[in-house]
Amino acid sequence: MSDLTLKDFEREALPTLTDYAAIPCLSPMFDAEWEKSGHISTATSLFVGWSTTRAFHSAKTQLHEIPGRTPVITVTVEATGPSIGTVVLYGHLDKQPPLGEWSEGLSPYCAVRRADRLYARGVADDGYAIFSALLALEALEANNIPHARCVVLIEASEESGSPDLEAYLDLLKDHLSNVELLICLDSGALTYDRLWVTTSLRGVLNAELTVQVLERGQHSGIASGVVPSSFRILRELLDRVEDVKTGDILLKEFQPTIPDEHVMAAKAVAGEFGDVSANELPTVDGLELMGNDAADRILRRTWFPTLSIVGMGGVPEPSIAGNVLRASTTAVLSLRLPPNVDSEKARAALREVLTTDVPSNAQVSYNDHAADGWVAPPLAPWLEKALHEASLNAFGNDVAFTGEGGSIPFLGSLAKRYPGVQFVATGVLGPGTNAHGIDEMLDLPTAVNVTNAVATIVAAHANNKKEKT
Ligand SMILES: [Zn+2]
């Protein structure tokens, strides 16, 4: 098969990907007014428009809209090979916010190319996915290589924990019909020299906790020493969740049982690739990292529960901070959950410790949202063979497997709906990609190589079916 080249990708995908980069289509969690602002709709129209121009023998692009929910695009490419069984290729078009000031010369909503890297919010997470998926299928058809029926599914609420996706999976139940293989193009890579396949993902639990002690702020010379500080009470509550010295999560509902093969795999990856969890992080000089060694850090990043405080409210900027006993303090909590922990049980346990027996009887308001992690089911022999072949063909190096520390709620949902489905979770989110951070970047040669690997995998799926029938 003649592979897709960087030139092909530049010609076919880059102009539209660059247009997409300019759209601030934030996930609904970061743009409550997303319906009014219309950015998600603009991005959706752009992708629908591009999809309908692609050269397939038989394909249909559809926009699905359930009122009040973010839309979903499907591009259904009919089989040119075995006609039973569907391959789903997944990506998302909603974005994280810019996070902060981007580096000199870069901007979240104006794509900048430096050498073979494209910088802008959302290009790697996960704008490239629809291009990769459809160009892979197009390459198969151009080379007369059979493929099964394929549905490219692009959703728009992933960065909010995919709250809208289940409703669409219900709506599209018959359309997706007999899913046999799911290729998720929203995952990570530890290096850019090979195909990385994800073996597990952590779950996620987001919560917003407000501790209130006063109706309004008071002169701290009058109220302090009498009214307890909302910040101190918040600290006490958080100490119930996390060991303040080690960062360990204390609640038993959050503790993983790590399968032996995942411990061994972490050791193997650390042995071959080094301290991959730490190498690329912009840590300050002299910072002591958590974890004993490279393997331990891989496990900590992929299998340990953690707490990050990702936002705070009720606290003024330093430049306008007066001597006031503030009325309330809000913390936004982001917890990552081990892949095999029940997120609903974890959620109930967290809610319990943060909202009961509150110190000084302060008022607490609380809301939360949770999603399960995911552990990849064992690979079918045909797929394992296809992954080796795909990586060798596309990258010139053998495939590698690792757990990821992030979350893709879709995989857990799909695994529950379609027991026995085969999964390939992969992607371009490698060193320096900065998804969710400033200076997000797509490594274009990697996008091309992943596209070629996807083509090989989809072809192998059809080939395996042919051999069986
Ligand atoms: Zn993503």
Please report the pLDDT score of residue 418 as a whole number: 87
Average pLDDT of the chain is: 95
Q: Tell how far the Cα of 91 is from the centroid of ligand 1, in angstroms.
A: 8
Q: Tell how far the Cα of 430 is from the centroid of ligand 1, in angstroms.
A: 12
Residues within 5 Å of ion ligand 1, judged at the Cβ atom: 125-126, 186
Output the six-digit token pair for 292.
């004993």
DSSP line for 238-268: HHTTB-TTT--B--GGG-----HHHHHHHHH
Q: Tell how far the Cα of 22 is from the centroid of ligand 1, in angstroms.
A: 17
Residue 163: C-alpha distances to residues 18, 169, 367, 409 (Å): 27, 11, 15, 9
Please report the pLDDT score of residue 82 as a whole number: 76
CB-based contact 156:93 (threshold 8 Å): yes
Burial of residue 191 (CB within 10 Å: 0-12, 13-18, 19+) is middle
Q: Per residue of the chain (469 residues), give pLDDT as tens.
A: 779 999 999 999 999 999 999 999 999 999 999 999 999 999 999 999 999 999 999 999 999 999 999 999 999 999 998 778 999 999 999 999 999 999 999 999 999 999 999 999 999 999 999 999 999 999 999 999 999 999 999 999 999 888 899 999 999 999 998 999 999 999 999 999 999 999 999 999 999 999 999 999 999 999 999 999 999 999 999 999 999 999 999 999 999 999 999 999 999 999 999 998 898 788 999 999 999 999 999 999 999 999 999 999 999 999 999 999 999 999 999 999 999 999 999 999 999 999 999 999 999 999 999 989 999 999 999 999 999 999 999 999 999 999 999 888 888 888 888 888 999 999 999 999 999 999 999 999 999 999 999 999 999 999 998 777 6
DSSP character for 120?
S
CB-based contact 226:169 (threshold 8 Å): no
Output the six-digit token pair for 208.
């917003």
Q: Tell how far the Cα of 372 is from the centroid of ligand 1, in angstroms.
A: 16
Would the pTM count as exceeding 0.75? yes
Largest CA distance in the chain: 83
**CA 83 – CA 79 distance, rounded (Å):** 6
Q: Tell how far the Cα of 143 is from the centroid of ligand 1, in angstroms.
A: 30
Place of tokens 């990821």: 404
* Structural Rg of the chain based on CA atoms: 23
Q: Tell how far the Cα of 426 is from the centroid of ligand 1, in angstroms.
A: 11
Q: Tell how far the Cα of 186 is from the centroid of ligand 1, in angstroms.
A: 5
**CA 414 – CA 392 distance, rounded (Å):** 28
| 203-256+304-371 has the same fold as 6-201+373-468 | no
Q: Tell how far the Cα of 93 is from the centroid of ligand 1, in angstroms.
A: 8
- What is the distance in angstroms between the CA of the first residue and the CA of the last residue of the chain? 24
Q: Tell how far the Cα of 61 is from the centroid of ligand 1, in angstroms.
A: 22
Please report the pLDDT score of residue 279 as a whole number: 85
Q: 22 by DSSP, 3-state: which?
A: coil
**CA 279 – CA 443 distance, rounded (Å):** 18
Please name the fold of domain 6-201+373-468: Aminopeptidase (3.40.630)
**CA 52 – CA 62 distance, rounded (Å):** 9
- Cα 69 from chain centre: 19
Please report the pLDDT score of residue 95 as a whole number: 97
Q: Tell how far the Cα of 102 is from the centroid of ligand 1, in angstroms.
A: 19
Q: Tell how far the Cα of 150 is from the centroid of ligand 1, in angstroms.
A: 21
Q: 338 by DSSP, 3-state: which?
A: coil
Please report the pLDDT score of residue 469 as a whole number: 60
Domain 203-256+304-371 part of CATH 3.40.309.10: no
DSSP character for 125?
I
Q: Tell how far the Cα of 199 is from the centroid of ligand 1, in angstroms.
A: 17
Q: Where exactly are the structural domains of the chain?
A: 6-201+373-468, 203-256+304-371
Q: Tell how far the Cα of 411 is from the centroid of ligand 1, in angstroms.
A: 12
Which H helix or E strand runs over 86? strand 86-92
Question: Cα angle at 343 between 232 and 370, to 5 degrees?
Answer: 70
Q: Tell how far the Cα of 362 is from the centroid of ligand 1, in angstroms.
A: 38
Q: Tell how far the Cα of 13 is from the centroid of ligand 1, in angstroms.
A: 19
Q: Tell how far the Cα of 158 is from the centroid of ligand 1, in angstroms.
A: 7
Query: Within 59-215, where are the H helices?
Result: 128-142, 165-171, 173-176
Q: Tell how far the Cα of 14 is from the centroid of ligand 1, in angstroms.
A: 19
**CA 57 – CA 87 distance, rounded (Å):** 17
Beta-sheet pairing, 328-337 with 203-212: antiparallel
DSSP character for 107?
B
